Amino acid sequence: MREAAASAIRREDYAAPAFWIRTVELTFDLDPAKTIVASKLAIERNPQAAPGQALVLHGEDLTLLRCLADGESVSFRHEEGLLVIDHPPEKDAFTLEIRNTCAPEKNTQLSGLYTSTGGLFTQCEAEGFRRITYFLDRPDVMAVFSVTLRADKAKYPVLLSNGNLVEQGSLDNGRHFAKWHDPFPKPSYLFALVAADLVCREQKIVSRSGKEHLLQVYVRRGDLDKTEHAMASLIASVAWDEARFGLPLDLDRFMIVAVSDFNMGAMENKGLNVFNTKYVLASPATATDGDFAGIESVVGHEYFHNWTGNRITCRDWFQLSLKEGLTVYRDQEFSMDMAGSPSARAVKRIDDVRGLRAVQFPEDAGPMAHPVRPDRYQEINNFYTATVYEKGAEVVRMMATLVGREGFRRGMDLYFERHDGQAVTCDDFAQAIADANPGSALAVNLAQFKHWYAQAGTPRLTARGSHDVTTRRFTLTLTQSALPSPGQPDKQPCVMPVVMGLISTDGRALPLRLAGEEAAHGTERTLVLTQPEESFVFEDIDDAPVPSLLRGFSAPVVLDSGLYDGALITLLRHDHDAFNRWEAGQRLALNRLLAALPGTGELPALDDAYIDAMRAVLRDPALDPAFKELVLTPPGEGYVAEQCAEVDPQRIHRLREEMRQQLAARLHADWLWAWEAHQVREGYRPDAVQSGKRALANLALTMLVLDAVAKGDPVWPGRAYQRVKDAGQMTDRHAALKALIDGHSPLAQGALAHFHGVAAGDDLVLDKWFAAQAQAAEPLDGGGVVLGRVKALLKHPDFSMKNPNRLRSLVGSFCRENPAAFHRADAAGYVFWADRVLELDAINPQIAARIARAMDRWRVLAEPYRSAAREALARVAGSAKLSDDVREIVSKALED
C-alpha cells in the first residue's frame, strides 16, 4: 500500500518512453514464501526521446538483490514504487540484469504473483508486472519474452507461461523446469505464468488455412467434467473470429487456466488466458443458463482480445476502451450470432442494454462519471468501468451502424493493416474505420463523432412528432441535450444514429419517403442527428403514425419519446423491432411506477389496458418465451431510481413489489398456463430455446409463489420447495430457491438448508447460496431483516473476505444489488458498508474500491438516507490508512 496521497495521472502528459525493452529473459525459482526472479533485459535508447534521461523502472513490494548493466554493477536509488538508474550506460543498447524476490503467499491483493488453493498464478493487468520484477511496466513497451520456470515437481506439476513450450525436464531436489518462448512482442501486462497441480481438457482443431492448433483448458483435479462448455465456447470463438473478421488463431497452442481467487472475470494474457473459475466451470447440476451464457461470452471476449488488445494494444491506459470497448462489441456480436434466430438475437441485445442502463447510466450520472477515453485517473484499476467497457462497446456499435456491416469489416481490415504489432490510440481506431468508408456519415462527421470518446454523461434525446392531414406530412423533431459532468460543464452535440420506422395505428410498417426524395424506399431508416435540434419530414403519411425510434438501441442515450399509453401499446403489439416492443412495455410499467412515487399510498390498481397488453404478450404464440420473460419483468429498482430527482429506495421497492404482486394476482390463470406450457422435458442444453422456456416457466413459478404466499395457499410454495429438492439442473433449482426467498415463503429456510447440502462444498454453488440471501427481497411489512442475515453469514464457516467471488456474493450483492435492504433509515446498511470497505482495503484494495462504489449515487437520496450516507463516506475518507484505490472513489463521491 502506498502511503502518500496519489496525484492524478493525466492523458495530456503522455510521453514516449526514454528506453525500449526489446527482449526479456525471465527465470523464476518459484516458492510461495519467497520467489526469486532473475531478469535480463535488452534495453535500447529511444532515439526520439530527450537525451540524458535516467532509466526509471517500476517496482512494487519487491526486494532487489542485484542490478547489473552490461555485466557491471550500476548505481541506483529507490523512489516510491520506482527504481531509478540515473546514469545507465551511455550507449544505444545495453543489457540490464536484475535479481529480486517477491512473496506470493503474502500477496492478498491478487495482483502480481500470488497463491490460490496451493498453486501460483499471476495477474498483471494493469500494473501487476511491477509486483513481480522491475520493469518499464507500461503498455507501449513491447518485448519478446523467454521464460524459465523452476519449481517443486510434486506440488507444481504443471508449469505454464505464454507462447510455445520449448523445453522441460527434471532438476535436483524434486524440482523440475519448463522453458517457454512467446514470439510476439507484448507489453508486460500480457505476461502470465501458472505453476500448479492441474489437469486439462485438450482439443486439436484445424483452422481454415489448414493449420493445426492445440486448445487446452486447465482446471483443478475433479473439475474436468465441468470444462466441456468452456472448450466448446473456445472452439466456437476461434471459428467465429475467422469467419466474421478474417482473424485466425496465431499460436500453435492456446491455453485457458481456471483459478478460484481472481479479481475480475478473466484475463487475455497472450496464449495463456487466466480465468475466474466462474467463467470456466459449468455442469447442468452446478451452473444456470445465465452462467453458461456468461462462460460463452467471457471465453469469446478473452479470445477476441488476441487481436483486439494483444496484436494491437493500447498506447497508454487512457486508451483502455480501444481494446475493451471493441472487444465487448465483438463478444456481444459473437453471442448474438451464436443465439441464432432474430428474436434470440434481440433477447441478447435487450439483456446488454439492461446491463448498460443498470450500471453504466448511473455511473455516468454520478461522481465517477468519466469519458470512454478518460482524461485523468489516480488509480487505473478504478477505470475498468462500465463506461470504458459497455459504453465503449456502444460507441463501436454506433460506428458499425454508421458505416454498415461490410463497411465495418473494411474498417477493421484497415485497422489491422495499419497497426498490427503496435500500441495505438482510440483516435487511430476511429480513423481507420472512417478512412475505410469515405463519404459515410462517420467519415463526414468524424471530429464530431469523437465527442463520444471525450464527453462523459448520458445525452438526452427528445422526440416530438406532428402530423398534418392536409399536406399528409409527418414532421419528426429530434432534440439532443446533455447535463454537465464532473469537470465538463458544457457539452457539444453528438453524432447520433437514430434507427427508426413509422407504424400506423393498426400496426403496419409505413414506407418512408423523406422530403426531397423521389419515392419511398424501405420501412426503416437511420437518421443521423448532428445538430442540437433537427426536423425530419416524412411524406405521404395519411394518418398520425407512431414513431418507433432508436431501434435496437442505436445510440446510448436516454430517449424521451413523448409517447402516451395508446402509442406505447401499439408499439408493444406491432413494432417490427423486438427491442422497441420490449422498450414500450418497460415504459408502460415505468410510467405507472413513476406516477405513484410522489404519494405515500399503495400502487393504484393497474389499469385493464396495461394488464391486457401484458396478457397479450404472454399468450402470443408468435413470440419467444425468452422475450416474454423480459417484457413481463418490470424495470429494476435501480433503473426506476435513475428516473427520479430524489430517490426514496424504500418507496421504490414497495411500489415495484406491489406491481409484481398485482401482476401475479391478475394474470394468475396465465401464469398457470405459462408454467405448464414451458416445461422442458428433453435433456439439458444451455441453448437459447431451452433457456428461454426455463426463464419464462421460472418467472411463472415466482409469480405463482408470490400470489400463493399472499393468499396463504401452500400449494405453489410446496411445489417450489419440491423443485429445490428434485430439480435435475441448477437453473430450475436456483430459480425455485429464489422464488421461495423473494416470495417470503416460510419454506425458504428449509430450501436454503437443502441447497447448502447439495452444494457439497462446490464454491460456485455456495456463492449462489450466499448471493440469494444477500439479494433477498425485503418483506413489505416490517422490513429490514436482510442485513441481520448478511451479518450472520459473515461468520459462516464457508465465508471468507479473501476470496473475491465469495466476497462479491455476500457483501457486493447486499451493498450493490439490494437497494431496499441496503438503504435503511437507521443507517445500519451504511455502517456495514464502511466497516467492510475499511476491513477489505487492508486485504485487497481493488475489490474494496468496487464495493466502495455502492455509495456513488448518495447525493440523489432523500433524507434521512442522504445525510447518513455522507457521514459513512466521511468516516471512510477520514481513515488514516487508505489505498489509492478507495481514496479516489470516496474523495470523488464527497467532492462538490
> Measured over all CA atoms, what is the biggest interatomic distance in the chain, rounded to whole angstroms?
95
Distance (Å, whole) CA 748 – CA 894: 40
Q: Whole-number minimum distance, CB 391 to ligand TRP, in Å?
A: 14
Instruction: Give 380 or 695: the residue with its C-beta nearer to ligand TRP.
Output: 380
Active site residues: 302
123's contact among Zn ion, ligand TRP, none, with CB below 5 to 8 A by partner kind, is ligand TRP
Q: Whole-number minimum distance, CB 394 to ligand TRP, in Å?
A: 16
Question: Which 3 state secondary structure label does DSSP give 640?
Answer: helix
216's contact among ligand TRP, Zn ion, none, with CB below 5 to 8 A by partner kind, is none
Q: Whole-number minimum distance, CB 98 to ligand TRP, in Å?
A: 24
Q: Whole-number minimum distance, CB 125 to Zn ion, in Å?
A: 9
Q: Whole-number minimum distance, CB 389 to ligand TRP, in Å?
A: 7
The answer to whether 281 touches 764, Cβ cutoff 8 Å, is yes
Instruction: Give 182 or 324: the residue with its C-beta nearer to Zn ion.
Output: 324
Read off the C-alpha cell for 512: 418512408
Instruction: Give 269 or 458: the residue with its C-beta nearer to ligand TRP.
Output: 269
Distance (Å, whole) CA 872 – CA 886: 14
Q: Whole-number minimum distance, CB 768 to ligand TRP, in Å?
A: 22
Identify residues 311-330 at the interface with Zn ion (CB under 5 A).
324, 327
Instruction: Give 324 or 364: the residue with its C-beta nearer to Zn ion.
Output: 324
Q: Whole-number minimum distance, CB 249 to ligand TRP, in Å?
A: 17
* SS (HEC) of 111-149: CEEEEECCEEEEECCCCCHHHCCCECCCCCCEEEEEEEE
Sheet with 164-170: list strands edge to edge: 72-73, 63-69, 93-102, 35-45, 19-29, 142-152, 175-187, 164-170
| DSSP per-residue string spanning 38-69 | EEEEEEEE-TTSPTT--EEEE--S-EEEEEEE
Element (H, E) at 465: strand 460-468
Give Cβ neighbours of residue 200 (< 8 Å, ≥ 6 apart): 158, 216, 217, 218, 219, 224, 255
Instruction: Give 189 or 675: the residue with its C-beta nearer to Zn ion.
Output: 189
Binding residues for Zn ion, rule CB under 5 A, total 2
| Residue 290 exposed, middle or buried by CB count within 10 Å (0-12, 13-18, 19+) | middle
Burial string for 355-364 (b: 16+ CB within 10 Å, else e) reads ebbbbbbbbb
Element (H, E) at 669: helix 668-677
Q: Whole-number minimum distance, CB 338 to ligand TRP, in Å?
A: 19
Give Cβ neighbours of residue 770 (< 8 Å, ≥ 6 apart): 793, 796, 798, 799, 806, 809, 810, 813
Instruction: Give 263 or 437: the residue with its C-beta nearer to ligand TRP.
Output: 263
125's contact among ligand TRP, Zn ion, none, with CB below 5 to 8 A by partner kind, is ligand TRP
Query: Cα dihedral angle (711, 714, 719, 724), rounded to 10 degrees?
Result: 100
- Rg (alpha carbons) of the chain, rounded to whole number: 28
Counting every residue written for the chain, the total comes to 896
Instruction: Give 99 or 802: the residue with its C-beta nearer to ligand TRP.
Output: 802
Instruction: Give 194 or 266: the residue with its C-beta nearer to ligand TRP.
Output: 266
Q: Whole-number minimum distance, CB 124 to Zn ion, in Å?
A: 14
Distant-in-sequence contacts of 237-240, Cβ < 8 A, 24+ apart:
237/299, 237/300, 237/303, 237/304, 237/334, 238/205, 238/207, 238/213, 238/303, 240/300, 240/334, 240/337, 240/338
263's contact among ligand TRP, Zn ion, none, with CB below 5 to 8 A by partner kind, is ligand TRP
237's contact among Zn ion, ligand TRP, none, with CB below 5 to 8 A by partner kind, is none
Q: Which of 588, 500, 498, 504 is nearest to 546 (CA)?
A: 504
264's contact among Zn ion, ligand TRP, none, with CB below 5 to 8 A by partner kind, is ligand TRP
Q: Whole-number minimum distance, CB 745 to ligand TRP, in Å?
A: 39
Instruction: Give 268 or 624: the residue with its C-beta nearer to ligand TRP.
Output: 268
Q: How far apart are the first and last CA of the chain?
A: 27
Distance (Å, whole) CA 378 – CA 894: 16
Q: Whole-number minimum distance, CB 51 to Zn ion, in Å?
A: 38
Amino acid identity of 336? M
Identify residues 262-281 at the interface with Zn ion (CB under 5 A).
none
Instruction: Give 303 or 858: the residue with its C-beta nearer to ligand TRP.
Output: 303
Interface residue list for ligand TRP (CB under 6 A): 123, 125-126, 263-264, 266-268, 301-302, 324, 381, 384
Looking at beta carbons, which residue is closest to ligand TRP?
264
Q: Which of 133, 157, 152 is nearest to 143 (CA)?
A: 133
Instruction: Give 263 or 580: the residue with its C-beta nearer to ligand TRP.
Output: 263
Distance (Å, whole) CA 731 – CA 680: 12
Distance (Å, whole) CA 444 – CA 788: 58
Question: Which 3 state secondary structure label does DSSP give 862?
Answer: coil
- Write the DSSP symbol of residue 494: P
Identify residues 376-405 at the interface with Zn ion (CB under 5 A).
none
Read off the C-alpha cell for 882: 487508505
Distance (Å, whole) CA 687 – CA 753: 30
Chain residues in the site for Zn ion (CB under 5 A): 324, 327
